[in-house]
Amino acid sequence: MSETKTTEMKATKRQFKAEIKKLLDILVHSLYTNKEIFLRELISNASDAMDKIRFESNKGTDYIDKDLPLEINIWANKDKNILYVQDHGIGMTRDELIKNLGTIAKSGTEDFLKAVTENKENASNIIGRFGIGFYSVFMVAKKVIVKTKSYLKDEPAMEWESDGMGGFTVKPLNEEMKRGTIVEIHLKDDAKEFTEKYRLESIVKKHSSFISFPIKIEKERVNTIPALWREPKSSIKKEQYVEFYKFLTYDTEEPLDVIHTSVDAPIQFSALLFIPKRNLDWFGITREDYGLDLYVRRVLIQHKNKDLLPEYLGFVKGVVDSEDLPLNISRETLQEDIIFTKISNNVTSQVLSHLTKMAEKEPGKYKQFWEAHGKIFRLGYSDYANQDKFMKLLRFNSSSCKDEKELISLDDYVEKMHKKQKEIYYILGSSRAAIEMDPHMEIFKRKGIEVLYLYDPLEEFALSSLMKYKDYEFKSVDQVDVKKLNKLDDVEKNENEMEPLSKDDEKHFSSLLQRIKNILGERVTDVRESKRLLDSPAVLVNPDNSISSTMQKIMHITGQTKSIPKKIMEINKNHKLIRNLLKVYKANDKDEYITNVAEQLYESALLMEGYLTDPHKLVNRINKLLEQSSEWYTAVKKL
């Protein structure tokens, strides 16, 4: 025996990783609610271990103790206050034991700790979602011994022991053992109830009834529920769906909707899918935690398969079971399997059809769906095969909505569109209030043209890559051709309409524009008269064919460019301020007041667009203008 082998055989004492210590501390000292779920976690681990061995067996792998029954056995020793949970699953080697139960700091731990601080009472309910369920056993145990033997040939049986405080020991087991794992739980004095058969039975029935392997307590089978998705729809009660959903997702609420289908041709499969009421991706940290469970003839092939549905439908939870896939299919080649691809296309299209129906028949429910999952769903713009269905399912807030909660579809938009309108307009902003004050909106209000309000740059990405809906191109309000809009009649009367400028003044106005252009110099591409403004004196717009404002902003935020994009400054000659400026200009075209106003208008516009990085100059200038105006004010008022 080599030297390393000899040291391996000795008992080694190890420390838990810091995160795991913290986790154990919280489990033992702060979580008193719902301790019984420790059993669910151990059963779920046992079931996973047996899924794994069944998978190896289907692949034709060679392993030990092939004839052991795939079942979970639970029994207790009342005198010693010990509970045993045993499986004949895949077992663990020495290295796996050390890695899995103690040394690897799992990312789930941090996430779980975060969840605990926000939501204490539910923490024990959700621990299983974070991949750290095993440690919940220390809520009821003063000592735990895990005895395990790997399915691999020539691996010795091992024993892991811990009191859940600082560390654990691992040593070879000095008794005979068949393949699998036995968890020996030395219960705390206040946890004696978990040696009672009736208590164990009720816990298993409550939390583990959908486990597909037999669960036996004191040799008696407890779980008898068959694979629900294979049952005829008519025979299933709503509560059964809800129960299965909760089992699957650890959600404490009922699902928003259930999709249960059975397809026979051209490929046979059943699917039982759920749409959760809320986004289960708490804090956005379990993003990877999506996918459907894939079964072949009731045998679990893969937990959370990520290819059955595209990512934007990742909020859907559930199982898919097919007769037509081979049992020994390898997870690695699934994606290339034609039958699998057909199943996945069919499942995707079923989900979209279901949502379409929901949108038509139950708009209230659909709105709930949108509020919970719209953000992820919107990413579906890249699913070209389903683009038509997808676009019909999109929802937006818009200028015609009464508040920021109301939503419309693209069909709603098109229906109300102006007869001569050829484009669908949108604007991106941080809130409804901000958008409504944006000068770009003025012409749309005046012409009574609806504008979609986007609050997330990803929405604009989606629209610009979709390009159009039906024949109508998506267009950002700052890239619109104002001439086209001005051909439409006004619906709003301009209350402060001004006398048109005289011919002479028009000329002066042109040279005033030139003067402003000289002041702003390289910072703008042009200064010109605005045909879109009503209430604002000036606005910055994009030169034709330049990249969209959102793109510019994203490049700015991500540091790809530090420069401020050059835009066209448009001046509203029918604004009181500009009319007064014209008077100043006519009296003295070099007046410094003009410079101050031009600078201020430019920087105010930058500020509105989010580009002004240093406010000092702007604030100083405003102070100066205020000072001047205070003098005029006191003079006029004769103070």
- CB of 39: closest distance to ligand ADP in angstroms? 12
Q: Which of 38, 45, 313, 351 forms a contact with ligand ADP (CB under 6 A)?
A: 45
Site string for ligand ADP, 273-292 (x = CB under 6 A): --------------------
102-141 positions binding ligand ADP, by CB under 6 A: 131-134
- CB of 225: closest distance to ligand ADP in angstroms? 22
Question: Helix crossing, 107-118 with 18-29: angle to 10°?
Answer: 30
- CB of 375: closest distance to ligand ADP in angstroms? 27
- CB of 107: closest distance to ligand ADP in angstroms? 11
The residue among 183 and 582 lying less far from ligand ADP, judged by its C-beta, is 183
The residue among 101 and 139 lying less far from ligand ADP, judged by its C-beta, is 101
The residue among 181 and 399 lying less far from ligand ADP, judged by its C-beta, is 181
The residue among 131 and 448 lying less far from ligand ADP, judged by its C-beta, is 131
- CB of 145: closest distance to ligand ADP in angstroms? 13
The residue among 128 and 439 lying less far from ligand ADP, judged by its C-beta, is 128
**Which are the contacts of 578, defined by CB distance < 8 A and separation ≥ 6?**
537, 538, 571, 572
577-606 positions binding ligand ADP, by CB under 6 A: none
Instruction: For residue 266, say if its preceding peptide bond is cis, omega within 30 degrees of 0.
Output: yes
DSSP 8-class letter at 396? B
**Which are the contacts of 210, defined by CB distance < 8 A and separation ≥ 6?**
223, 225, 228, 243, 244, 247, 248
- How far is it, in rounded angstroms, from Cα 201 to Cα 217? 7
- CB of 108: closest distance to ligand ADP in angstroms? 7
| Residue 355 contacts ligand ADP per CB under 6 A | no
- How far is it, in rounded angstroms, from Cα 467 to Cα 208? 49
- How far is it, in rounded angstroms, from Cα 115 to Cα 571? 52
User: For ligand ADP, which stretch binds (CB under 6 A), given 44-52, 186-194, 427-435, 529-537?
Assistant: 44-52
- How far is it, in rounded angstroms, from Cα 138 to Cα 42? 12
Check if the beta carbon of residue 117 is closer than 8 Å to that of residue 283: no
Q: Which of 23, 24, 31, 49 forms a contact with ligand ADP (CB under 6 A)?
A: 49
Q: Which of 23, 37, 39, 46 forms a contact with ligand ADP (CB under 6 A)?
A: 46
Q: Judging by beta carbons within 10 Å of its beta carbon (0-12, 13-18, 19+), is residue 7 exposed, middle or buried?
A: exposed
| Residue 41 contacts ligand ADP per CB under 6 A | yes
- For 264, the 3-state DSSP assignment is coil
User: For ligand ADP, which stretch binds (CB under 6 A), given 86-94, 198-206, 337-345, 385-393?
Assistant: 86-94
Query: Amino acid identity, residue 208?
Result: S
- How far is it, in rounded angstroms, from Cα 535 to Cα 537? 7
174-213 positions binding ligand ADP, by CB under 6 A: 181
| Residue 90 contacts ligand ADP per CB under 6 A | yes
Check if the beta carbon of residue 348 is closer than 8 Å to that of residue 313: yes
Count of residues touching ligand ADP (by CB under 6 A): 16
- CB of 259: closest distance to ligand ADP in angstroms? 27
| Residue 155 contacts ligand ADP per CB under 6 A | no
- CB of 42: closest distance to ligand ADP in angstroms? 7
User: For ligand ADP, which stretch binds (CB under 6 A), given 89-97, 114-122, 204-212, 438-446?
Assistant: 89-97
- CB of 106: closest distance to ligand ADP in angstroms? 7
The residue among 24 and 410 lying less far from ligand ADP, judged by its C-beta, is 24
- CB of 131: closest distance to ligand ADP in angstroms? 4
- Going through 335-403 in order, the beta strands assigned E by DSSP cover 397-398
- CB of 70: closest distance to ligand ADP in angstroms? 12
The residue among 158 and 258 lying less far from ligand ADP, judged by its C-beta, is 158
Residue 259 vs residues 229, 350, 357: alpha-carbon distances, Å: 10, 9, 12
- How far is it, in rounded angstroms, from Cα 204 to Cα 238? 21
Helix (H) and strand (E) counts for the chain? 21, 22
Residue 301 φ/ψ, nearest 5 degrees: -95, -40
Q: Which of 73, 89, 186, 512 forms a contact with ligand ADP (CB under 6 A)?
A: 89
Q: What angle do CA 181, 187, 193 make, to 5 degrees?
A: 110
Q: Assign residue 263 a region: left if phi > 0, alpha if psi is -120 to 50, beta otherwise?
A: beta
- CB of 128: closest distance to ligand ADP in angstroms? 7
Residue 321 φ/ψ, nearest 5 degrees: -130, 125
| Residue 87 contacts ligand ADP per CB under 6 A | yes
Contacts with ligand ADP, residue ranges (CB under 6 A) = 41, 45-46, 49, 87, 89-92, 100-101, 131-134, 181
